[in-house]
Chain A
């Protein structure tokens, strides 16, 4: 069973529908016992870091997620979920879970518009990833595949070893992070058509060691 963590942060039904579509069982839950029993964890989310962290703490999910990670269960972060696993987010000046070292910062027009004055914030739409290293979960992707992004903030990992893929949007930013049993995408695999579903499928059978 896959537990999709519910912390009042939207978009959970899309992830559950996509996982069901590819033939895996999942539950959307904020029950720490269910999360403890699950074989793998998806940590999704759309919304703002501040209110997300408040809900996470109120529901005791911070400990549940940390425990799942340290016990070696496969964990998939998506969008806000990916940002929340970092140390700190500039958004609402929020202390986050600290599973991956580094911070989350906002896109700034003066940085992204150096070469293209037409770029908008949020970064919304389809974009490519450049893989910095191989990963089982990403092994079915083709070079020209694109993924659906919608975000105004992006993660900046401290350790380059945690960087798995980058994306170009005026600047290069980390769009896939991971180490050990966690993999985390800034884009939405559940909204990225065939290549997105392939990531979910691979995650559902991933045995990290």
Chain B
């Protein structure tokens, strides 16, 4: 039986993580390679890097980070943020990432999904979706709308329709981020997650809102997610990956316990 995946997400700017891991002794590690090693050894099933580097001249720093991470950890990892072209995807994959995620570039130019899937295989292409609850209306029948620019720009695209479209175009997985829940630490958006997950045939990673192990339990059961993204709840040392997994295991969710 397939395990539900627990995936720490690291935000990287100019080659450094924006939130270091705070261990119990309060030592900060801001090096993404060392953080990746820490989570690899701690039992993460996969790692997501999100590059928030603003200037394009500094983007090659991320490629170097990807290369060093690939030499250090032997589990899958994906890279997103600022991927605009097939060439961007190729660079990240050649540097050693397993998957690459596209978000706003795919909204503006859906072809990047099909071209990426054709060139590298569906399993390499993750569609990142930032979604906001707007209530049902004629243009947005599901009540959830696609947004970009961190939630500031509404695109007039229905989230459910976009997810189904992206699967047809060849996305191998969806990373579904609720802008409403993101940063609240009050739990994932369960209704949104189950709506998307039940209506596509590809795996869905839930993102946004994780604050305690119970939230992961909820999104992996009621939310029908295949995997759960976590950030601050582990970066600040409040919870450990093995602690989260043993909570899930005790409650009957299948997770990977041996690493």
Do A and B interact? yes
Instruction: Give A contacts to B, CB under 8 Å.
Output: 10, 13-14, 17-18, 21, 46-48, 109, 118-128, 142, 144-146, 148-150, 168-169, 190-197
- Cβ of A46 and Cβ of B70 under 8 Å apart? no
| A47-B121, A148-B75, A193-B40 given; A125·B224 CB < 8 A | no
Instruction: Give B contacts to A, CB under 8 Å.
Output: 1-5, 40, 45, 70-71, 74-76, 93-94, 96, 98, 120-124, 172-173, 197-198, 200-203, 224, 226-227, 256-259
CB distance from A131 to the nearest CB of B (A): 15
- Cβ of A13 and Cβ of B70 under 8 Å apart? yes
**21 contacting pairs across A/B (C-beta < 8 A):** A10-B93, A10-B121, A14-B98, A21-B71, A21-B74, A119-B2, A120-B200, A121-B201, A121-B202, A124-B123, A125-B227, A126-B2, A148-B75, A148-B76, A149-B2, A150-B123, A150-B172, A168-B1, A191-B76, A193-B259, A196-B74
| A122-B123, A124-B172 given; A17·B70 CB < 8 A | yes
CB distance from A149 to the nearest CB of B (A): 8
CB distance from A14 to the nearest CB of B (A): 6
- Cβ of B3 and Cβ of A125 under 8 Å apart? yes
- Cβ of A126 and Cβ of B5 under 8 Å apart? yes
- Cβ of A127 and Cβ of B259 under 8 Å apart? no
The 6 A-B pairs at the shortest CB distance, nearest first, are namely A144-B258, A126-B3, A126-B256, A146-B256, A150-B123, A120-B203
> How far is A146 from B43 in the complex, measured between Cα atoms in Å?
12
Q: Which residue of B lies closest to A189 (CB)?
A: B74
> How far is A14 from B224 in the complex, measured between Cα atoms in Å?
31
| A10-B121, A13-B96 given; A124·B203 CB < 8 A | yes
- Cβ of A120 and Cβ of B202 under 8 Å apart? yes
Residues of B within 8 A of A197 (CB): 74
Residues of A within 8 A of B122 (CB): 122
CB distance from B17 to the nearest CB of A (A): 22
| A126-B5, A144-B258, A195-B258 given; A120·B226 CB < 8 A | yes
CB distance from B112 to the nearest CB of A (A): 18
- Cβ of A120 and Cβ of B201 under 8 Å apart? yes
> How far is A143 from B1 in the complex, measured between Cα atoms in Å?
14
